[in-house]
Each structure stands twice: as structure tokens, then as C-alpha cells.
Amino acid sequence: MSPQRAIYYNNFASHLLCAYNPNMYYLELPFRWSDDDWFDLAEMVAGFGFNVFEFWLEPRMFCRESLDSSVGQEYIRQMRLVIDRVHQLDMKAEMIVGLATVGGQWRTLCPGVRPDWEELRFLWRTWVGRFSSVDTVGIFPGDPGACSRNGCTAETYVDRSIDVAQEIAKSHAHIEIDFNTWGPPFFGWGNLVMPPDSQGEFIPEYQHTAWTFTEERTHRSMSHLVKRLDDFPEKTVISINMGFNPDGNPEGNQDARPWVREIARQRPILTWDFSLTEGENAVYPHYRFSRLFERRRQEREAAPYAGGICFTMTPLLNQLSLYEAAQSFKNPSLDPEDVAADFFVMLFGEEGSDLIDGYRLFEVIPDWGCYDAIEMPRHAYHKRMIQFCDALSDLAGAENRDVSFCPSLPAYRRELLWFAKLFSDLSSPCPDYDALMQSYWNRVYRIYDYLPQHVDPRPKRATKRLIAHFADWE
Ligand SMILES: [Zn+2]
């Protein structure tokens, strides 16, 4: 069997900025990474067992203005260096781009309008040209973004993606195409609600409608994709989850497995299951690995999956999740508890394995993709979090200097300790929730204090939700 593709997908889009993700858009603001930071990161994920580095050219970059702006130039310079570095580490590089959503306001151009389509073709041609050293270009429907105007449907997304893919294959023969079916399927195309006077603006209130599922739409659009598979370039893989819902669950009429098998007869398939490791804007250390490994086993039973993504927006905090995800592709029958023990022993020696009992307590907030949040009496939780703080403090100086880790191991241990202290304070008898909320915001999201209101309000909402979980916990 060929080795599974283990894709490290670092989503550093502008609504996912935080202290643990690179800031690629605001040169004068915090959380910028130096080239060396990037190289350290690449070395770490290669060491964990990933063999593909994937990034999203988000709409803020995927537009005409960013081609020549100082931010765009710096982005291009640094990402090219990163691509070179991951190649040196024997990893491949993949850039994914939403088919039609462009600019800082996440506007979706309509492929059915000639000037819009010409603009999109120009952007695809030019941006792929800027990153011609990638091995794979991924085309995905959007999220954000998609078009229902002027008769656009899911089939439009399939057809126009084939046009783009063919053009890329013609000009860059070495580049493989990764066509993504993300959504119910094909997020938003033909089902996103857009007001009658829409010019393709991003409207947060309507985004959920992109998930509207109907059997009729699914059958029609998936049949169309199957019919047109031959028209994609020879080197094409298809990313498709086992279910047509945000969690990729193969349930009821949203079970995608018959389509997955049908497609796998003609093309290699990958999983793009997004919520297995951390979800979006739930920034704290995660421990949700039984579902991760279970999903890998289900995928292998369902169809000849050739690997897929591990999503992260917190590579400098959730290194354990990355490590677990890489192992899950290599060997889905491993016990995730054993993998976690190996991880902490690798970092801190034999005593490191004692950290798991405390670390797992971080997974306490029900959230996208988290199905087994810790439940226990609040006072018992508080007591165990204090013990976990002690265990982390005791390991000072025990860090293994031979491990490639990013940031440094002492910094990582201190970061875990900070979160353990926060969760311990939040579960104490009479917390000052306002002060703790501010402290969390300052640590994690302070970059948004310097920015105008973002089109996506999720960082604020996520912070309130985290605090509310403890405030509502009797
Ligand atoms: Zn349209």
C-alpha cells in the first residue's frame, strides 16, 4: 500500500489570527513569524510524520490589490521560502484557493458574469504563477463565499473548477489538482441565500444557508461531478468527506460513502474532515483523539482513502493534536492514549506520561467536533486542574533538548501551565469572570484590538462562549 498522505493544513486566515498562528497580513502587528520561526515549524511537523504542508491563499490575498502591495509581496516572499524548506524536508506543498471569493471583504465574483469570470481567470493564472513551486493546487467551493446569483449552481462550481484546473495543468505540468467537494456538498453554490440586490458581498447572517442540504441537490450535483471526472487533468485527486455535513458524519441521507466509493474507482480520494482536531476559534489545548482515530478506521473501511488533512489554527499550542493526527494516518489502529503518552515522554522523559490525566481536562467545552467533553463536578475539576498545574511546574528543567519543537519546549510547557492556571481559576468557587475574560483575550486575541471590525465576528463570540461555559457550570 502506498504511504498515506498526511497533510498539515495550517489555516492562518484573517478571521483565525491568534497568538499561536502566524499573522501574514499585518506587518506592524503582533504574532508575525520570522523565516526562522517558519523553518522551525516545518521541521517540527516533518518530524511528527506529516508529508504535505498545506496553506490557504485566503481571499484577502487572492485579489488584484495584494499582488503588488507590500503585504502581498512579503507574503509571497515568505511562503516561497517555506515551500522550499518543506521540499528540503521531503514534504510536498499544497496551496488551496476558493474558486471565486476575493479580497479583504470576502466578496464572491460570479462566474456567470463575463468581466467577473475574466477577473477570476486572471487571478488564478497570476497567483498560481506566483506559487508555481507548489506540488498541488487545491480548488475548493468557499467557506466563506460561493455564488447563487445569475443561475449559479453546484454544477457551475464543478464546471468552472474544471476550466481552472485545465488551465493550471496546461501551464504547469508538474502541478497536481486537488478538487474539493467541501459542504453539503459544494458549500454555498446555488443554495447560499443572497439578497436580490447582492453583488456577492459576504453576509455573516446568511452563511449557515450554505449548509442547506437536500437530497435532490446532492444527487444532481454529485452525479454531475462523477460524469465530469474524466475532464479533470490526469493528475487530480478528490477531497471528499464521508458525510455531507460540517462534521463529516456519514448519517442518514447525508451519508456520502456511496459517492466516495464511486469517485474512488476513477481518482485517488482524500479526506478533508475539518473538525477532528480543534474546530475553529476554540483556542485552548485539545484532547479529542478517540474520535480522530475512530474516524480514520471508518475511512479505511469505507473506501481506499489515500490520507487527508489535519487542520490547525493553533500550531504553537496544539502540537499534541498535530502529532496524534500524523500518527492516525500512519496507523489508525493505535490507541490515542498510548500516542499521547509517547508524545509527552518524548518531550519530558518518563514522568511526562503523567501529564495526560490533567491535559485531557482541557477538553471540557462542547464545541464543533467535540463529542466527549469532560463532565464532572466543578469542585473536583478545580482540584484536578490545580494538581495538573503542579505536575507541569515540576517538569521545569526536564525538557528534552534533542527534540525539534516549536516554540521551544520550555515555552511550550509555560504555555500549557498558563492555560491550566486559567482553567483552574475559571473553575474556582468565585472567579472574577470579567478579569479572566480580559486576560484570555489579551493573551490569545489581542491582535484584533488593533484592527477594524473584521467581517467575521467569531473571535469575540468564541471568547464569550469559553467564559460562559464556566460561568454556567453549577
Ligand atoms: Zn453566480
User: How deeply is 435 buried, as exposed, middle or buried, from its count of CB atoms within 10 A (0-12, 13-18, 19+)?
Assistant: exposed
* Spacing, Cα 55 to ligand 1 middle (Å): 26
Question: Considering only CA atoms, which of 51, 53, 4 is closest in space to residue 300?
Answer: 4
- Cα(125) to centroid(ligand 1), Å: 20
171-191 tens-digit pLDDT: 999 999 999 999 999 999 999
The mean per-residue pLDDT over the stretch 21-45 comes to: 97
Section 204-226 average pLDDT? 97
CA of 146 to the centre of ligand 1 (A): 8
Give residue 264 CA to ligand 1 midpoint distance, Å: 29
**Alpha carbons 115 and 285: distance in angstroms, whole number:** 46
Q: Report the alpha-carbon angle 123-245-291, nearest 5.
A: 110
pLDDT tens track for 47-96: 999 999 999 999 999 999 999 999 999 999 999 999 999 999 999 999 99
pLDDT band at 455 (very low <50, low <70, confident <90, very high): low
Residue 451's pLDDT band, with cuts at 50, 70 and 90, is confident
User: What is the reported pLDDT for 3?
Assistant: 75
Q: What is the pLDDT of residue 344?
A: 98
Ligand 1 centroid, distance to 184 Cα (angstroms) = 18
Residue 418 buriedness (CB in 10 A; 0-12 / 13-18 / 19+): middle
How confident is the model at residue 140, as a pLDDT?
Answer: 98
Block residue for cell numbers 467557506: 143
Beta-bridge partner residues of 370:
367
Q: What are residue 262's phi and psi, to 5 degrees?
A: -60, -45
DSSP string, 29-75: SS----HHHHHHHHHHHHHHT--EEEEE--TTTSSHHHHHSHHHHHH
The pLDDT of residue 454: 66
Whether the Cβ atoms of residue 242 and residue 255 lie closer than 8 Å to each other: yes
Cα(161) to centroid(ligand 1), Å: 13
180: CA distance to ligand 1 center in Å?
19
Q: What is the pTM of this model?
A: 0.96
Cβ neighbours for 285, distance < 8 A, ≥ 6 positions apart: 317, 318, 320, 359, 362, 416, 419
State the virtual CA torsion across 320, 317, 208, 243 in degrees, nearest 10: -10
Q: How far apart are CA 380 and CA 363, in angstroms?
A: 15
Summarize pLDDT for 259-315 with one digit per residue, the tens.
999 999 999 999 999 999 998 889 999 999 999 999 999 999 999 999 999 999 999
CA of 33 to the centre of ligand 1 (A): 37
pLDDT, residue 459, reads: 87
- Predicted confidence at residue 321, as pLDDT, reads 98
Q: 98 in helix, strand or coil?
A: strand
User: Is the predicted pLDDT of residue 474 greater than 90, yes or no?
Assistant: no
Q: How far is CA 111 from CA 108, 146, 158, 438, in A?
A: 9, 10, 11, 44
Mean pLDDT of 399-412: 94
Q: What is the rounded average pLDDT of the residues 23-27?
A: 96
Instruction: Outline where 141-214 has alpha helix (H).
Output: 154-171
Q: Tell me the per-residue pLDDT of 132-163, one tens digit each, with 9 for 90 and over.
A: 999 999 999 998 899 999 999 999 999 999 99
In the predicted model, is pLDDT for residue 99 greater than 70? yes
Report how far apart the first and last C-alpha atoms of the chain are (Å, whole number): 51
User: Above 70 in pLDDT, residue 118?
Assistant: yes
Q: How confident is the model over 329-387, as pLDDT tens digits?
A: 999 999 999 999 999 999 999 999 999 999 999 999 998 999 989 999 999 999 999 99
- Residue 150 Cα to ligand 1 midpoint, Å, equals 5
Q: Given a cut of 70, is residue 456 above it in pLDDT?
A: no
Looking at residue 47, its pLDDT comes to: 96
Q: What is the pLDDT of residue 258?
A: 98
Q: What is the predicted pLDDT for the residue at 121?
A: 98
Residue 147 alpha carbon to ligand 1 centre in Å: 5
Mean pLDDT, the chain, rounded, equals 96
| Closest CA relative to residue 48, chosen from 375, 418, 419, 406 | 406
Q: Ligand 1 centroid vs 126 CA: distance in angstroms?
A: 22
In the prediction, which pLDDT does 290 show? 96
Give the H/E segment covering residue 309.
strand 305-312
Q: Please tell me the predicted confidence (pLDDT) of residue 423.
A: 98
